[in-house]
Structure 1
Amino acid sequence: MSESAYRVETAPRLAQWRIDTLSSCTYRKSDPFKIGIWNWFLTVERNKQLFVKLYPEVSALTREQPPIASFVIKLISSSSPNRKTLVHPGVSDKQIKTNEDFVWAVDTVFTGKFIIDVEFLDLKSVPLSGGEPVSIWSACQTERHSLSTAITSLSRMLSDSILTDITITGADGAGIGAHRAVLAARSPVFRSMFSHDLREKSLSAVDIPDMSFGACRAFLGYLYGDFRGDEFLAHRLALLRAADKYDVGDLKEACHDSLLEDIDAKNVLERLQTAHLYQLRRLKDGCLRYLVSFGKVFEIRDEFNAFLLRADRELVAEIFQEVLAAWKGF
């Protein structure tokens, strides 16, 4: 049998498999063919009845985002003069993961050459982030592409200093060109600053004396969508201060989440102080749990005693309340 006997011809939403001969007891599986973002297979089996199956190739993509398919499938007799056609009632929004999820048992006898014709009306998948299924052929793909292109262009405005109209200067005196409109859109503090006759507006400069050049670069990079993970991790505390100072809520929350991820004996007291200063409840609870519930306070006894001497009284009171609550639990 020639290799073409297993080949499925495709158009953007159409697949056709031409079967030249099929004996009374035969199983045949097509070559893989691509429709949408998945590779698919068709199989045909004749054993008293004719069975047709359609299913996606087993892959990480299929496991994580199995297709939810709507399609019309037909059997077309290409050997008869009038091209006898048998049409399945239709499949709508059916999730197909395995070769048992769509099976068409055909009672009508097809002899000679015939075509399995599949017209995909829609293919959906559930986003990895969750939510409702979304068509892969909807405007969402274009929307994602547009968003990606816009972010790339925005980050180039910063990296290539395209038509900058303000300079951000850090503690070491080095400046970075930026754009008032972008900063104002991302921060209500910057918007107020540039909307009134303040020093920053007249000088076209903003001094951030408590941030190094690297921290300023990371801060602006985040605002422009030019996110760099290594910069973010290296300057989290400075970014948290800037996010709080300039009211960039999403950056503050990102720093909060990140600081929660790697609490250890070396940084727990600093994180606890930071959490208290910026009212980060989850971080404070995480630090207190690490110290008290897991007993790590005994491993850093000297550092902890020194911390209590200089810490805010309100924070010290919270620590002792946590200790007392833990003792009551024993």
Structure 2
Amino acid sequence: MRESGGDTSFQRQQERRRSFPHAIEPNVVGCADGIEILVAHLIKEKHHRVVSIWGMGGLGKITLAKQVYNHDGVRCHFDCFAWVCISQQCHGREVLEELLNQLSSTNEERQEIVILNEDEIARRLCTKQRERKCLVVLDDIWTCNVWNSLQAGFPMNEETESRILLTTRNKEVAYCADENGFIYQPLSLNEDESWELFEKITMFQMEDTRIISFHLTLEFVWNNEMSNHTADSRIYYPEIYAKKKDLGMKMLRHCEGLPLTITVLGGLLSRKDSVNEWDMVHMNFYSYIRRGTDLGPEYE
């Protein structure tokens, strides 16, 4: 049995990993092709029961899944939706119960679920997917054993218009779920896309009130309504921008096109105004990234 301190630590880790489909990232780069491909396979391809997004951590799987889940075409095509983030210590009944709760349309249905055993929950979940067009997202399945603990809740060998969108770091999981399913692997961002994402986070950050456009000339102008804002008005001149871009490009080479790493780096540098502060991060890049120094809880 795990000690209570360990339980608390593990729970905190799981809470940080938890994903919410409505929490859309404000800065999305390099996803357009993937969104188009995945949406097409979900709503047009009839022979793919499971559509999987596979790739290493930090590659942007969850970001892509959220974009697809909230896509207008997807929202119009399916009748009901469910999204569950799977923990490494997955409890099958809890996941199936949560899915059935999200797909149920009345409070009476939800109240009944509490007293059902796992087999009955799985049966009702299957029935719900046969009767309606459901999109179920299983986010971050780590092993085939986890999938095996859940598959009783899905009508895998039957004709149904319901679909599963699955994200995983393990390609074998995608094959376990559906050997005939569609598997999509996002690519790392190229140099231009990496800079675009980085710049959006570090240069185009939004304050509590509206900011007027910030262009590559890098003259950043606050409008009149900002005169009473507590933050100091700042003007970025081209020479400062050039120095920051040089440092930024050097640091981005270490990010290897991983959106999560770029986002962490950008979140850190967005809080640092001077070139000297950027240079300090550059000189201690790995230390800052690994420790999460000065980062908010969303980047830990």
TM above 0.5, yes or no, is no
The TM-score range, normalised by the shorter chain, is: under 0.3
TM-score by length of 2: 0.22
Between Structure 1 and Structure 2, whose CA radius of gyration is higher?
1
1 or 2 for the larger relative contact order (CA 8 Å, sep ≥6)? 2
More strand by share: 1
TM-score by length of 1: 0.20
More helix by share: 2
